[in-house]
Amino acid sequence: MGRVRPGGEGILFSPLDSIPVIGAGLAGSEAAWQIAEAGLNVSLFEMRPEHSTPAHQSSDCAELVCSNSLGSTLPDRAAGVLQTEIATLQSMLLEEARKTAVPAGQALAVDREKFAHAVTARLEAHPRIELVREEVQSIPKDPVCVLATGPLTSEAMAKSIADLAGSENLAFFDAIAPVVTGESLDSDIIFRASRWQAKEEDGVSGDYFNVPLDKDDYEQLVDALLSAEKHPIKDFEAQDTHAKSFFERCLPVEVLASRGRDALRYGPLRPVGLFIPGSGKRPYAVVQLRTENKEGTLWNLVGFQTNLRYGAQEELLRSLPGMQNAEFVRLGSMHRNTFLCSPKLLNSALEWEARPGLFVAGQLSGMEGYLGNIGSGLLAGRNAVRKARGGPLENLPKDTLLGALALHVSEAPPEGFQPMKAEFGILPPLPRGIRKNDRRKVRAQRSKSALASHLESNPFPNPERHSEKPCSQAHTK
């Protein structure tokens, strides 16, 4: 097997002895699993723990660094439809996410540590996967390779990618929400409920903690966010030559507050469907907290990703009703994310058109969100197998969300391109005459039918199932 040559022009493996997958995040982990399950050997490279990132806290594969939610489980919502699609395509990561789920209403949220541990154990136990703990500093020259280095691509690899792309990569900053202990919250003020719990059900437990804000509370919060001390951007961009901007789908809460006095209460702090126990009244605004682990001891502030300095964060958050004694397990932070201008580079099979056999997965490819990352890894892994075996590449139907995402990142206008998550708006229009209330259901059924027909006429190479070796026997470097 080839070895990393620091600063070299690329790694060359013996042709198809082992397909390299670079990066063991959500996309890389899923890609490696798909390739191995199809009967091919995989070298899965992960630079942690030798080289960590500003956002990761462990060396586990598939670590979630922002929210712990994979989105709605409702079968007629975009996230629910995409979950159904990748489950049909036999996603290992979605399987582990469901096993490690924590209460989150009608959403799939996971215990971060248990999820990452479980995925890592599955990968280490697979007889066709070698998990190599080394940094790859340049794109391998192998006939088939999956590049899934993630939004926190190292500087050396980012330069290699930019050199191949022929232009600079785009970069934006992504912010992480704080996490507090549940026992430090004042339950006399902060109430548990899920949205649209009936008013007469006061006292009935829900999946979220809710911090109710009246108008004065809300106005004081907005003022504090606008005036609080923030980390200067330069702290995060030292020696970074990439373009820089905030990502619209993960804006720091203070940036959102700067867009208008009511921006927060019509955004992440919207109070719709929530009623204060005892009074039955709806709060003016509400800060929600979602559980981080199965034990329900850790809670993250939903939509409260921030770039405020740590001292300012603690002072501001402890000023909220019921959070005066909040104990912080993790404070919010901001880190650099990198992605390709994919419409100039990739086709809908996620293959780099100027470098056949090189597949790109994860947020680097322009698919945003946990489910999109998993789905992109799944598609890139399946196509790596097809490429290695000399077969035609797989293009999923445009009526499926995963297929529509792949089309978007390959065909969207390149000017101002930014990553896209699963949304019904990227699907082809529905026929006329379908009632508005029926459209989600029709889209979900159309996706299911299209994927079933596709798989029947385009069977994936028969996977070779293998017994997994005990984790203690995993072959890692």
**pLDDT 10s per residue in the chain (477 long)?**
333 333 334 444 434 589 999 999 999 999 999 999 999 999 999 988 777 666 566 779 999 877 889 999 999 999 999 999 999 999 999 999 999 999 999 999 999 999 999 999 999 999 999 999 999 999 999 999 999 998 778 888 888 988 998 765 556 566 678 999 999 999 999 999 998 865 444 445 789 999 999 999 999 999 999 999 887 654 444 444 333 445 565 688 999 999 999 999 999 999 999 999 988 899 999 999 998 877 788 899 998 989 899 999 999 999 999 999 999 988 888 766 778 889 999 999 999 999 999 999 998 998 988 999 999 999 999 999 999 999 999 999 999 999 999 999 999 888 767 778 888 888 888 898 999 899 999 999 999 999 999 999 988 875 554 444 433 333 344
Q: Which of the listed residues 334, 363, 392 is the one where a domain comes to its end?
A: 334
Q: How far apart are CA 83 and CA 92, in angstroms?
A: 12
Q: Which of 185, 182, 223, 204 is nearest to 274 (CA)?
A: 204
Q: Which of the listed residues 308, 334, 360 is the one where a domain comes to its end?
A: 334
**Residue 359 shares a structural domain with residue 247:** no
Query: How far separated are the first and last CA of the chain, in Å rounded?
Result: 12
Contact 242, 314 (CB under 8 A): no
**Residue 73 shares a structural domain with residue 34:** yes
Q: What is the CA radius of gyration of the chain?
A: 23
**Residue 281 shares a structural domain with residue 366:** no
Residue linked to tokens 């999820």:
115
**Residue 33 shares a structural domain with residue 135:** yes
Q: Which of 399, 439, 422, 446 is nearest to 82 (CA)?
A: 422
**Residue 160 shares a structural domain with residue 239:** no
Question: What pLDDT sits at residue 242?
Answer: 38
**Which residue type is seen at 5?**
R
Question: What pLDDT sits at residue 241?
Answer: 39
Tokens encoding 344: 């100039």
The contacts of residue 196 (CB under 8 Å, 6+ apart) are 273
Ranges of beta strands (E only) in 49-103 are 69-72, 101-102
Tokens encoding 180: 């507090």
**Residue 185 shares a structural domain with residue 261:** yes
Q: Which of the listed residues 334, 353, 381 is the one where a domain comes to its end?
A: 334
**Residue 145 shares a structural domain with residue 187:** no
Q: Give CA angle at 201 (196, 203), nearest 5°.
A: 110
Q: Which of 395, 430, 388 is nearest to 411 (CA)?
A: 395
Question: What pLDDT sits at residue 8?
Answer: 35
* Side-chain half-sphere CA neighbours of 338 within 13 A: 23
Residue 159, domain extent: 19-169+340-473
**Residue 294 shares a structural domain with residue 389:** no
Phi-psi region for residue 253, left (φ > 0), alpha (ψ -120 to 50) or beta?
A: alpha
Residue 15 CB: number of other CB atoms within 10 A?
A: 10
Q: How far apart are CA 251 and CA 248, in angstroms?
A: 6
Q: Give CA angle at 270 (438, 71), nearest 5°.
A: 55
Question: What pLDDT sits at residue 52?
Answer: 66
**Which residue type is seen at 81?**
V
9 lies in a domain? no
Question: What pLDDT sits at residue 169?
Answer: 53
CA dist list (Å): 425 to 206, 323, 374, 408, 428:
31, 38, 20, 11, 8
Q: How far apart are CA 395 and CA 221, in angstroms?
A: 48
Strands across the sheet with 145-147, in order?
Answer: 129-132, 42-45, 19-22, 145-147, 358-360
Question: What pLDDT sits at residue 156?
Answer: 86
459 lies in a domain? yes
Q: Is 169 helix (H, G, I), strand (E, B) or coil?
A: coil
CA dihedral (439, 81, 373, 309) positive or negative: positive
Question: What pLDDT sits at residue 329?
Answer: 84
Tokens encoding 146: 């999956």
**Residue 269 shares a structural domain with residue 347:** no
Tokens encoding 373: 């990352």
Q: Is 37 helix (H, G, I), strand (E, B) or coil?
A: helix
CATH classification at residue 288: 2.40.30.260
2 lies in a domain? no
Q: How far apart are CA 151 and CA 162, in angstroms?
A: 14
57 lies in a domain? yes
11 lies in a domain? no
**Residue 187 shares a structural domain with residue 112:** no
12 lies in a domain? no
User: Number of structural domains, the chain?
Assistant: 2
Question: What pLDDT sits at residue 131?
Answer: 95
